[in-house]
């Protein structure tokens, strides 16, 4: 079959599929009841034009106001999408009805990219449970304490680097995240952010992220196109991008695994998820079947931890430069509790309530994953009198929930004080929505919280963060813009001033650095 004939066949097949989908939708609606409110779909293409927006979080939040509903419904070429804009609805669907709202939508590009082993993207099933069990064993609250020595080391390295070259903040921030992730996963010591293995992993994540949204590739809209041979795919550059992403990921995984095996053989292995597994594997043959799951968990942790941590720390520094009064208040609290003879420790956390409020407010104010990771419905459901069909992609709009004026008055203001009650104590609102919902909540949240909190505490103890100045001594207002790369929203580069608070802290950092050598 030549290319022209194949294209004609594909178009004919597409028409049949679309007509069949329309008929099924009309029949389902008449039989089962109304769908939740939402923008009116266009025949065949549905709401694809409504979904192609630059800032979906705020736009979907506006849908709730327009249609007077916390849940809104849309379609795209026959695919059903439910937007959940309120915490109350998210709790009901993702938590109380977790049994049927814990699957993930099948994104056709996932397999082409080689990301079928990414735990957050996996379908709810036995292999996911195996990977989840490995995560829970290594990342639960108690196990997270085992990573504290590495967290101290990487955060203190970050502070030392900042004190020496504060203008290279972005590079130091990335080094903090990637060096921690590969250390706890593979026992690998990153010497530079230009490490070829890090470059390969980051390039793979960047390319893959750009292919995982519904409108990123025509293959995601029409899965049958994935079965067309690559040499016939013509202008579908997404196939070529997917192949590159897959190759880079495989190179990074295999190289890291070979490093871990070689370090064990030579007796130089540091404790990590992979090295610990490999050492136990040599004793128990039965554990060999878990090797792929361990590799998948390791790469998932790297990809999930690095990008989001980088985004959060960048936002924190921006906010401290923007709101000096908040910074000053936190430093006063740290000075009173810790003094200036040592750096903050995890045991100090409960004694620093204002700093805890800053952590909560930073995580509320800006989300690295504003729409989280989509869920999928495994059975037909009824909610608030509306029919939600099986297979619907369900999106928790974290941005909308974190900007709900009923819960967070003046939601666009940065106000750590909102997390205190009338008596001046931290309130009970300690939930970080960015970690997700229900059975698919981020299993590594205890580790993530630890490294972010210690970075915030140590930064405020050691540095004054302010607005940069131009050659004439005038303050430069830091850029407040954000941009999205793939699935993650990042702070646009900005300038700020990072200066040691005193010689005492410079000496502390130097002593820490000397002790690590």
For residues 293 and 280, give the distance between their C-alpha atoms in angstroms, rounded to a whole number: 15
Contacts of 237 (CB under 8 A, 6+ apart): none
Which phi and psi angles does 83 have, rounded to 5°?
-100, 125
Most distant CA atoms of the chain, gap in Å:
78
For residues 289 and 282, give the distance between their C-alpha atoms in angstroms, rounded to a whole number: 12
Q: Give the CA distances from residue 251 to residues 29, 410, 412, in Å, rounded to whole numbers and listed in that order.
A: 48, 47, 43
Q: Are 478 and 321 in contact (CB under 8 A)?
A: yes
Q: Are 331 and 450 in contact (CB under 8 A)?
A: no
Q: How far is CA 336 from the centre of its chain?
A: 34
At what angle are helices 169-186 and 273-281 packed, to 10 degrees?
10
| 131 annotated binding-site participant | no
Q: Give the CA distances from residue 401 to residues 210, 362, 408, 412, 481, in Å, rounded to whole numbers and listed in that order.
A: 25, 14, 9, 12, 21
For residues 387 and 238, give the distance between their C-alpha atoms in angstroms, rounded to a whole number: 35
CB atoms within 10 A of CB 507: 11
CB atoms within 10 A of CB 293: 20
Q: Give the CA distances from residue 128 to residues 120, 132, 137, 292, 334, in Å, rounded to whole numbers and listed in that order.
A: 9, 6, 14, 12, 42
CB atoms within 10 A of CB 235: 7
Binding positions for heme are: 442
Binding positions are: 442
């Amino acid at each position: 079959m030549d290319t022209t004939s194949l294209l004609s066949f594909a178009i004919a097949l597409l028409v049949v599929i679309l007509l069949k989908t329309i008929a099924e939708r009309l029949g389902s609606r008449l039989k089962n009841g109304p769908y939740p409110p939402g923008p009116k779909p266009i025949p065949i293409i549905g709401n694809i034009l409504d979904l192609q927006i630059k800032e979906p979080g705020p736009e979907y939040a506006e849908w709730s106001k327009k249609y007077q509903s916390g849940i809104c419904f849309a379609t795209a070429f026959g695919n059903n999408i439910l937007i959940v804009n309120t915490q109350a609805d998210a709790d009901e669907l993702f938590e109380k009805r977790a049994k049927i709202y814990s699957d993930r939508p099948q994104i056709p590009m996932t397999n082409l990219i080689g990301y079928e082993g990414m735990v957050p993207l996996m379908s709810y099933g036995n292999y996911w449970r195996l990977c989840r069990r490995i995560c829970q064993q290594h990342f639960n609250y108690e196990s997270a304490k085992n990573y504290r020595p590495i967290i101290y080391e990487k955060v203190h390295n970050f502070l030392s680097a900042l004190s020496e070259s504060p203008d290279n903040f972005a590079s130091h921030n990335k080094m903090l995240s990637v060096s921690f992730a590969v250390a706890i996963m593979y026992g690998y010591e990153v010497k530079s952010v230009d490490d070829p293995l890090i470059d390969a992993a980051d390039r793979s994540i960047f390319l893959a992220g750009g292919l995982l949204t519904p409108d990123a590739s025509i293959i995601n809209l029409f899965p049958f196109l994935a079965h067309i041979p690559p040499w016939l795919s013509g202008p579908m550059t997404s196939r070529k991008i997917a192949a590159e992403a897959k190759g880079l990921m495989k190179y990074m995984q295999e190289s890291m695994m070979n490093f871990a095996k070689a370090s064990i053989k030579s007796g130089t292995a540091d404790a990590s998820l992979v090295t610990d597994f490999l050492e136990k594997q040599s004793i128990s043959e039965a554990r060999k079947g878990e090797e792929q799951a361990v590799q998948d968990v390791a790469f998932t942790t790297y990809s999930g931890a690095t990008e989001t941590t980088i985004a959060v720390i960048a936002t924190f520094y921006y906010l401290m430069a923007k709101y000096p009064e908040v910074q000053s208040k936190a430093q006063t609290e740290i000075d009173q509790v810790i003094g200036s003879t040592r750096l903050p420790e995890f045991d100090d956390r409960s004694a620093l309530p204002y700093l805890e409020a800053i952590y909560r407010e930073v995580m509320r104010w800006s989300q690295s994953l504003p729409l989280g990771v989509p869920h999928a419905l495994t059975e037909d459901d009824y909610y608030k009198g509306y029919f939600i069909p099986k297979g619907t992609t369900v999106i928790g709009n974290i941005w909308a929930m974190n900007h709900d004026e009923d819960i967070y008055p003046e939601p666009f203001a940065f106000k750590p004080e909102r997390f205190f009650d009338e008596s001046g104590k931290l309130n009970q609102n300690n939930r970080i929505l960015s970690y997700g919902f229900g059975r698919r909540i981020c299993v590594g949240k205890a580790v993530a919280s630890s490294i972010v909190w210690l970075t915030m505490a140590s930064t405020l103890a050691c540095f004054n963060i302010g607005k940069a100045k131009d050659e004439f001594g005038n303050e430069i207002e830091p850029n407040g813009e954000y941009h999205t790369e793939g699935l993650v929203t990042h702070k646009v580069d900005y300038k700020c001033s990072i200066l040691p608070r005193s010689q005492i802290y410079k000496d502390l950092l130097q002593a820490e650095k000397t002790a690590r050598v």
